[in-house]
Structures are given as structure tokens and as C-alpha cells.
Structure 1
């Protein structure tokens, strides 16, 4: 019974996050414009690359004080939003949604990004169901999987309600 309740809360949380993201930012046209621009910027060595698991374990107060983070991962999903785009970035430790105003990488691309770590609070049934996300500031490196070997490929994660919602927008 406890497992069922935990799964139900997880489904509610992911669904609420997806609905909130779409309602806050809005839906854009369902078409994607592919970009062949694979510009590579120097990786900012002043910032250390963090894992997505590190971000997920960070408190909301710490997130509010974080200026910028650098992440490396593979693009697994994409979603159009009004005036912006979103994509899910996955590494070997988890996945996180990234909001960007510039053209976003293709699904499967390996990227290194710099971005602002943010948190969206979603109180649901008296409990905090919010989640963190990244507002992309700069795409530092981008390559297709055939062009780079980052060691082991990301561990696939089971689909969430949010990822199903994002896929339905494509």
C-alpha cells in the first residue's frame, strides 16, 4: 500500500510539473527547426561540471544562491514552448529539464552547457512536489554521439508522466 501511495504521489508530482511548465511558458508551434550550427565554445574551467544527481539532492535554499552550473549529458527529449524551447538532459545519474531561448540540440546529441539552476515549487496536498530545472545560459559544446565517446552511455530511465507530456507536444 505504501508503495502504491509513493507511486501515486510521484505520478501526481511529475504531472503537476509538466502542466505547470506548459501553463507558465505556453505552447508554441509544434514544428521544430533543425539547426546545423554545432558551434563549440570553450568549456568554462572555473565551473566544475556537476552531475544531475548532485542537483536533485540540492535544497531549494542552496539553489536560490547558486549562480551557475555546468552540466554534461545527452539530450533525450525536446519540447516547444512559447518563445523558448525545452529539452531533457540525461547523464549517468539522472535527468533534468533545460529551458533555452536559443535553438536547442537534437535528440541524442552530447552537450556541455552552462546554466542557472532554478526551482519550481509545487505544493500538492500539503506536500512540496516541486522540482529543479536549468535555464540555459550557454551551450559550451555540442556533438553527435558518433563524434564523441564520454565513457559509458547514460543509463536509460523509465519514462515519467512529464516526459510523456513533453513527447505529446512534439
Structure 2
């Protein structure tokens, strides 16, 4: 007599093949994607070194970097952030950023002119949008 095999479990390779992409995407979703050169908000992030002061520029820009300095003001905060291309000051209402935090910021480019004895000592910064 011939014995008939009954399959108790479905083919496990189909199950493994279906779970592998799900597990991989879950693991990458918990990771900091900037380590792989992928910005969390997309390709709209501008390198700090590429920012240029322009008059009457009301086009918002996105920057990301690490908080390096903090200056408390009366109702706002100034933070200096940096990336591998440069540093820039941010004027914002955020009060909970700490030194070393990695942040993404949307702001309007601004330039504050400070002429002293014929020399221009102005400062470029981003104001929160």
C-alpha cells in the first residue's frame, strides 16, 4: 500500500519570501535614514553651504544639521546649526532643542545689515516660516 502524505503546513518558502520585505522595511523604518544619504523629508533639503543671502527672498528653504549653539531671546530662540558644508543661525519659536540634536528646519533667508565704520559686518540667518 502506498502512503499518502498530507501537508500540515503550507510551503514555508512562500511565507518566508513574503515576510522578508516586511521585516526589512520595518527595520529600516526605525533607523536614521540620513546615515544612508536619504533625507527624511525628501530632496528639498538645501546644504547650508549653498545658502545665499538675497534681498526680498520670500522662498522658504529646508536645512538640516546638528544644533551647535543656543541663544535665548525674550520670546524666541536663536540656534546655530551646522552640517558638513557650513553653519547658519536660525530664529525660531522652538524652545526644546538641545545641543547635539539633529534638526530639520523650514525658514526664510534673511540678512541683517550691520555697517560699522564703512565695513559690512552683517549676518545671514533663517527665520522660521
Smaller-chain TM-score bracket: 0.5 to 0.7
2:30 counterpart residue number: none
Query: Contact conserved, 1:85 with 1:104, CA < 8 A, in 2?
Result: no
Structure number with the higher helix fraction is: 1
Q: Flag the 1:100–1:59 CA change in 2: closer, same or farther, 3 A.
A: closer
TM-score normalised by structure 2 residue count: 0.62
* Aligned-residue CA RMSD (Å): 1.8
Q: Which one of the candidate residues 61, 65, 68 is aligned to 1:69?
A: 61
Structure 1 segments unaligned to the other structure (5+ residues): 1-41, 138-170
Aligned residue number for residue 48 of structure 2? 52
Once residues 92 and 110 of structure 1 are traced to their aligned partners in structure 2, the CA distance between those partners, rounded to angstroms, is 13
Question: Which of structures 1 and 2 has the larger relative contact order (alpha carbons within 8 angstroms, sep 6+)?
Answer: 1
Report if the CA contact (8 A) 2:48-2:85 is conserved: yes
Is contact 1:74-1:111 (8 Å) kept? Answer: yes
Structure 1 segment 2-41 matched on structure 2, within 5 A: none
Q: Is 1:118 equivalent to 2:110 in the alignment?
A: yes
TM-score by length of 1: 0.48
- Is residue 87–residue 104 contact of structure 1 (8 Å, CA) maintained in 2? no
1:129 and 2:121 correspond: yes
Runs of at least 5 residues in structure 2 that lack an aligned partner in the other structure: 1-39
Q: Which runs of 4+ in 1 moved over 4 A?
A: none
Structure index of larger Rg: 2
